[in-house]
């Protein structure tokens, strides 16, 4: 785990503790990310995790 990931986890934990929110909403998490300084700087691209996955073969998903 790198330092940025650890900072994010600590920020989430502090937010949950201070706001008595065991499960913050995605909107709250996005607000927290903005507070930490994250900004959209590039157009949306391919999601990195999906690049390495092969496309599913539809024929394999059919019941026999």
Q: Could you tell me if residue 35 is inside a domain?
A: yes
User: Whole domain around residue 28: which residue ranges?
Assistant: 1-39
**What is residue 42's predicted lDDT score, i.e. its pLDDT?**
78
Q: Could you tell me if residue 45 is inside a domain?
A: no
Tally of structural domains, the chain: 1
Whole-prediction pTM:
0.60
Q: Could you tell me if residue 53 is inside a domain?
A: no
Q: Report residue 35 CA to chain centroid gap.
A: 15
Q: Could you tell me if residue 24 is inside a domain?
A: yes
Per run of 10 residues, the mean pLDDT along the chain (length 64 residues) is 93 97 96 92 74 64 58
For 17, 21, 31, 47, the CA distances from 11, given in Å and listed in that order, are: 10, 13, 11, 24
Q: Could you tell me if residue 64 is inside a domain?
A: no
**What is residue 63's predicted lDDT score, i.e. its pLDDT?**
59
């Amino acid at each position: 785990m790198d330092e940025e990931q650890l900072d994010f986890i600590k920020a989430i934990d502090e937010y949950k503790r201070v706001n008595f929110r065991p499960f913050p909403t995605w909107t709250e998490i996005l607000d927290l990310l903005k507070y930490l300084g994250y900004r959209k700087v590039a157009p949306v691209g391919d999601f990195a995790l999906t690049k390495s996955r092969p496309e599913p073969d539809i024929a394999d998903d059919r019941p026999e």
